[in-house]
């Protein structure tokens, strides 16, 4: 298993390189000059020439790519044209919020979607099944921004002054601050080094940071702030997961070995939970893996509506402004994310189904 | 010759199981009566779709929607199984009545080891430690003739051949020494040589444990070799029933005669003249009168008009116990049977 994991990780390197090459090329093919996009009316020929030189945009494309790859290996994603800050810092600040939002949304989607799909399959054609399927058919076509606004309206305004009230915006309530674990525990570090960046990065996962430091107040507050955006973001995946679970379960429940389990005298519920579910998991996991991409796209809108400073908003601005360093950095992050998710999906296949060989 | 006085283990009375589909009511089993005596093998024979599997699933209490047992009694050890609640029925399944199926490989769960699937039977039905269950699983695998039993408990179903998988199914089915084993075409999916091995194994184990077996098959050759008694099914009803000797020596029902005639004798395949023309009737829209009348030569030969009007009853020869459902042997209103049973 470990050997298989390592081999899969090594195989990922050429994949990531290939993705980088393609996206680098594509980003250079977007029409319009970055200088004009950045400086707008003020972009005179002279100003542009200096701008282009400063950011190396006048060099031949292969050279630009070589420079880019070299920088990347050192963890240097360059400086954002629009925000005039190192992209690495932007990632460290904002990526953890987006990842936590995504994980939370996926968690909600699975925790509700999978049981709903199972119940639906068990009680096929019953009123319960019909209700679940109608809800999930509405769910898949629900615009994220509309759902987000409705949730914010309902939980923040209608339920105001009740214990169900939830904050509609921000990551933490004003006045509550999260203390990074490495500061709390006085980790030695040198400012601006790679290890410092990594410590900062991990401590910016507020839920993770507050759990390991035992700061329950921050934990509660940060979870509270994530519930609404995660619900908005998780609804479409939830609906898709529920439908996939239902159809996969129905397929499995027809199989001969389910009849065998019943013929042994096994209780109906155990037949479902033990014999059917594990076999039904493969397509469900595949769909969950695919949902991650959809989540990333949805995060963009969700973060805007709920005032979260994740990477979604930055990416949107970067694309409209042709902020190459940011676009490229995100491409790397997304590519690595995909490779990682795929690896997880494949490993869970091997874990679940003995027929899938470790070859 | 059957002895009819001893108490039966299982008595199916007027079993009626219908499927309520969108196309109409499928009368899969439509008034089936038969008995199984302790320690005997009774063959259940009939063309595809005549209701053999539905009959056995009805006995197991495993009919799923849109199917429904509409009528009848299934008396087993002095209880009517159709009156038992689901949890009581769970105690019967796998412990007192168990079942093996046509596709052994797909009947085993692909994601669990052979050992754990056998152990599960013990865990469901008795308080027994994991170690004891594991030991028993190995013992059972040896009993059904799986070489390398200890190692095979860790194997997965896809690592076994069809014959081995069926042996595992048999091990599982016999784990708790049930009184009754229902074998639904246990060898149809297997190679001929493997077929013989599995049948021998079944015969051996039946002798060892004195288990009664309902052996479902298309193959009259298998019946001749294995069964003590045989029931012939046609379109949801039993149309002839007797001990094996009497059935092969004196088949009475035109359908049974057709079946026997269609069996190749001594490797020589008979002319299609002897086989039965036409197809099984649609179980949603059955012919009026005798279900076999659409395909029956005897009806024309003896010009029986009643066949298309009224369904014959199961007649019984009290001496031989041979039973048949056909107007050739039954008097009716304005109809005199050409033969005596
Ligand atoms: N789930 C179901 N829904 C609708 N009809 C069904 C269902 N299961 C069985 N039937 C019908 O019941 C009839 C009897 O089926 P059954 O499986 O008992 O046949 P069989 O005698 O076992 O045939 P085979 O030799 O092919 O196994 C068939 O006509 C079939 O169409
Ligand atoms: S009752 Fe009539 S139609 Fe039916 S099998 Fe007998 S002779 Fe043929
Ligand atoms: Mg069948």
Establish if A200 belongs to a structural domain: no
| Terminal-to-terminal C-alpha distance of chain B | 15
Q: Is B107 on the interface with A (CB under 8 A)?
A: yes
CA–centroid distance, B264 to ligand 2, in Å, is: 24
Name the stretches of chain B with pLDDT < 50. Answer: 1-2, 267, 269-273
pLDDT at res. A359: 53
Residues sharing a CB contact under 8 Å with residue A95, sequence separation 6 or more, in sequence order: A201, A204, A310, A311, A333
In a domain, A98, yes or no: yes
Backbone angles phi, psi at B153, to 5 degrees: -65, -25
pLDDT at B274: 55
Distance from C-alpha of A22 to C-alpha of A332, rounded to nearest angstrom:
11
CA distance B150 to chain A (A): 19
Mutate to test the pocket of ligand 2, among B326, B329, B339 (most ligand atoms within 8 A of CB): B326
ipTM of model? 0.91
Is residue A61 domain-resident? Answer: no
Give pLDDT tens digits for A72-129: 777 778 788 788 888 899 999 999 999 999 999 999 999 999 999 999 999 988 999 9
Ligand in closest contact with the CA of B217: 1
Domain that holds residue A153: 87-178+215-326
The CATH number given to whatever domain includes residue A100 is: 1.10.3720.10
Does A97 map to a domain?
A: yes
In 3-state terms chain A splits into helix, strand, coil percentages (rounded to 5) of 75, 0, 25
- Indicate yes or no: CB of B110 within 8 angstroms of CB of A354: yes
Q: What is residue B225's predicted lDDT score, i.e. its pLDDT? A: 92
| Full-model pTM | 0.85
What part of A 4-43 touches B (C-beta under 8 Å)?
Answer: none
Whole-number pLDDT of residue A1: 74
Residue A73, in any domain of the structure = no
Question: Can the peptide bond before residue A10 be classed as cis, meaning omega within 30 degrees of 0?
Answer: no
Q: Does A355 touch chain B (CB under 8 A)?
A: yes
Q: Residue A168 domain-assigned?
A: yes
Asked whether B18 lines ligand 1 (CB < 6 A), one says no
A142 lies in a domain? yes
DSSP code of residue A180: P
- Cβ <8 Å between A355 and B158: yes
Ligand 1 neighbour B26 (Cβ under 6 A): yes
Block means of pLDDT (10 residues each) for chain A, 359 residues, are 82 82 70 64 75 76 80 77 87 94 95 96 92 92 89 90 88 91 90 87 95 94 95 94 96 96 95 94 93 85 90 84 80 83 89 78
Tell me if B234 sits within 8 A of B255, measured CB to CB. Answer: yes
Structural domains of chain A, count: 1
Chain A residue whose CA is closest to B178: A264
Cβ contacts from A onto B, under 8 A: 67
Is some CB atom of chain B closer than 8 A to the CB atom of A279?
yes
Is A242 part of a structural domain of the chain?
A: yes
B152 close to B141: Cβ distance less than 8 angstroms: yes
The residue to mutate among B292, B297, B323, having the most atoms of ligand 2 within 8 angstroms of its beta carbon, is: B292
């Amino acid at each position: 298993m470990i050997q298989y994991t390592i081999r899969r990780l090594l195989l990922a390197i050429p994949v990531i390189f290939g993705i980088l090459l393609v996206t680098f090329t594509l980003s250079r093919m977007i029409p319009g000059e970055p200088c004009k996009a950045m400086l707008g009316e003020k972009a005179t020929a002279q100003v542009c020439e200096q701008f282009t030189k400063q950011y190396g945009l006048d060099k031949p494309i292969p050279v630009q790519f070589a420079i880019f790859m070299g920088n990347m290996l050192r963890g240097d994603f360059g400086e954002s044209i629009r925000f005039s800050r190192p992209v690495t810092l932007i990632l460290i600040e904002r990526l953890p919020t987006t990842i936590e939002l995504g994980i939370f949304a996926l968690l909600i989607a699975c925790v509700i979607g999978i049981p709903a799909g199972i119940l639906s399959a068990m009680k096929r054609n019953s009123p319960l099944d019909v209700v679940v399927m109608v809800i999930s058919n509405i769910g898949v076509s629900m615009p994220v921004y509309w759902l987000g606004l409705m949730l914010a309206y309902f939980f923040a305004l209608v339920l105001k002054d009740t214990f169900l009230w939830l904050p509609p915006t921000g990551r933490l309530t004003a006045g509550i601050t999260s203390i990074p674990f490495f500061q709390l525990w006085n980790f030695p570090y040198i400012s601006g080094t790679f290890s410092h960046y990594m410590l900062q990065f991990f401590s910016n996962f507020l839920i993770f940071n507050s759990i390991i430091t035992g700061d329950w107040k921050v934990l509660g507050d940060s979870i509270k702030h994530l519930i609404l955006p995660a619900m908005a973001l998780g609804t479409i995946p939830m609906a898709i997961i529920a439908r996939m679970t239902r159809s996969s379960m129905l397929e499995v429940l027809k199989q001969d070995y389910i009849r065998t389990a019943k013929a042994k005298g096994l209780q109906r519920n155990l037949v479902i939970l033990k014999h059917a579910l594990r076999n039904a998991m493969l397509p469900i996991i595949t769909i969950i893996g695919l949902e991650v991409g959809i989540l990333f796209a949805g995060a963009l809108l969700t973060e805007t509506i709920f005032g979260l400073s994740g990477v979604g908003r930055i990416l949107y601005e970067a694309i409209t402004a042709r902020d190459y360093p940011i676009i490229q950095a995100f491409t790397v992050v997304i590519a690595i994310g995909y490779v990682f998710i795929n690896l997880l999906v494949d490993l869970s296949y091997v874990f679940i189904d003995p027929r899938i060989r470790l070859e | 010759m059957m002895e009819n006085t001893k108490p039966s283990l299982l008595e199916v009375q007027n079993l009626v199981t219908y499927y309520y589909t969108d196309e109409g009511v499928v009368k899969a089993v439509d008034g089936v009566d038969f008995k199984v005596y302790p320690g005997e093998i009774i063959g259940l024979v009939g063309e595809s779709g005549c209701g053999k599997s539905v009959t056995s699933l009805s006995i197991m209490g495993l009919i799923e929607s849109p199917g429904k047992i509409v009528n009848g009694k299934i008396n087993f050890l002095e209880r009517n199984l159709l009156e038992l609640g689901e949890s009581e029925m769970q105690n019967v399944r796998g412990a007192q009545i168990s079942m093996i199926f046509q596709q052994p490989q797909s009947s085993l769960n692909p994601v669990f080891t052979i050992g754990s699937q056998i152990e599960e039977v013990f865990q469901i039905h008795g308080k027994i430690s994991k170690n004891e269950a594991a030991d028993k699983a190995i013992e059972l695998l040896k009993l059904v003739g799986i070489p390398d039993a200890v190692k095979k408990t860790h194997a997965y179903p896809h690592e076994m051949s069809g014959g081995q998988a069926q042996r595992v199914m048999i091990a599982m089915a016999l784990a708790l020494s049930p009184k009754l084993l229902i074998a639904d075409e246990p060898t149809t999916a297997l190679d001929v040589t493997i077929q013989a091995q599995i049948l021998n194994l079944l015969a051996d184990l039946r002798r060892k444990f004195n288990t009664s077996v309902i052996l479902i098959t298309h193959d009259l050759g298998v019946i001749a070799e294995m069964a003590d008694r045989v029931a012939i099914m046609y379109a949801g009803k039993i149309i002839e029933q007797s001990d094996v000797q009497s059935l092969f020596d004196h088949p009475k029902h035109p359908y049974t005669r057709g079946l026997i005639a269609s069996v190749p004798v001594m490797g020589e395949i008979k002319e299609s003249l002897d086989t039965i023309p036409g197809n099984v009737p649609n179980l949603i829209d059955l012919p009026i009168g005798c279900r076999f009348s659409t395909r029956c030569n005897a009806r024309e030969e003896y010009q029986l008009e009643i066949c298309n009007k009224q369904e014959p009853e199961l007649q019984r020869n009290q001496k031989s116990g041979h039973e048949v459902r056909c107007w050739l042997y039954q008097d009716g209103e304005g109809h005199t049977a050409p033969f005596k049973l």
